[in-house]
Amino acid sequence: MSETFPDGLRRQDAAQGQELTLGDALKAMRETRGLSLSEVSARIKYSAVQLGHLEACDWSRLPEGVPLRGLVRNYARFLETDVDAALRLLDDAVGPTRPRPAVTSLGARRALQQADMTPKGEPAHRTWAWLLLILLLFCVIGVYAINRGWVPEEWLRFDWLKALRQ
């Protein structure tokens, strides 16, 4: 499969008779811009070592799946090249790296029910009910304390609080 990058690198190497790898294309584009691996690393927040492994196509030293896809996507965006072509070259080199859907249609209902659970297995909406119940309890205790005279007069700033005292 022959992908063409905006810089025309695919055509140049195809004319020489050798197949251009993803790493070779990224390295050539970086070098045409006069950038070092450390400069690229500082801009896209991946280590220069990882970028070196990517340019050398040393897949065993790079993460697999979606993280590798993100690395290639960010590198290609930084070099202002065709991201889709870079990802297709990546898929040709290492196999499919696209994320798989986490929820199938049959297990969607169960997965959504599981997602609505807190870590201890209690539904998340019950947490709010407990918080409201505790707040109501504090209000009742406060009114009772004011009514019994346990709260000093200077703490009661509002007239309606003073009226509770009588």
Tens of pLDDT, residue by residue over 31-80, are 999 999 999 999 998 999 999 999 999 988 988 888 889 999 999 999 99
For residue 105, being part of any structural domain is answered with no
**40/83 same-domain check:** yes
In a domain, 101, yes or no: no
Q: Are residues 40 and 85 in the same domain?
A: yes
pTM value is: 0.52
Tell me the CA distances in angstroms from 151 to 145, 160, 165, one per residue in order: 6, 14, 9
Q: Any idea which residue has 């505790």 for tokens?
A: 134
- Examine residue 4 and state whether it is found in any structural domain, yes or no: no
In this structure, the answer to whether residues 13 and 90 fall within a common structural domain is: yes
In a shared domain, residues 19 and 67 = yes
Tokens of 74: 């960010």
Check whether residue 79 and residue 129 sit in a common domain: no
Residues 60 and 136 in one domain: no
Shared domain for 79 and 148, answered yes or no, is no
Range of the domain at 157: 125-166
Residue 80 is assigned to a structural domain of this protein? yes
Residue 54 sits in a domain whose CATH number is 1.10.260.40
Q: How confident is the model at residue 11 (pLDDT cuts 50, 70, 90)?
A: very low
Domain count, the chain: 2
Long-range contacts from 51-57, C-beta under 8 angstroms, 24+ separation: 51/75, 54/22, 54/23, 54/26, 55/23, 55/24, 55/26, 55/27, 55/30, 56/23, 57/21, 57/22, 57/23, 57/24, 57/93
- Greatest mean pLDDT among 33-37, 89-93, 95-99 lies in 33-37
Name residue 157's amino acid: R
Residue 47 DSSP one-character state: -
* 13 neighbors 20 (Cβ within 8 angstroms): yes
57 in a structural domain? yes
Cα distances from 23 to residues 19, 105, 166, in angstroms, run 11, 38, 83
CB 26 within 8 A of CB 75: yes
Residue 109 lies in a domain: no
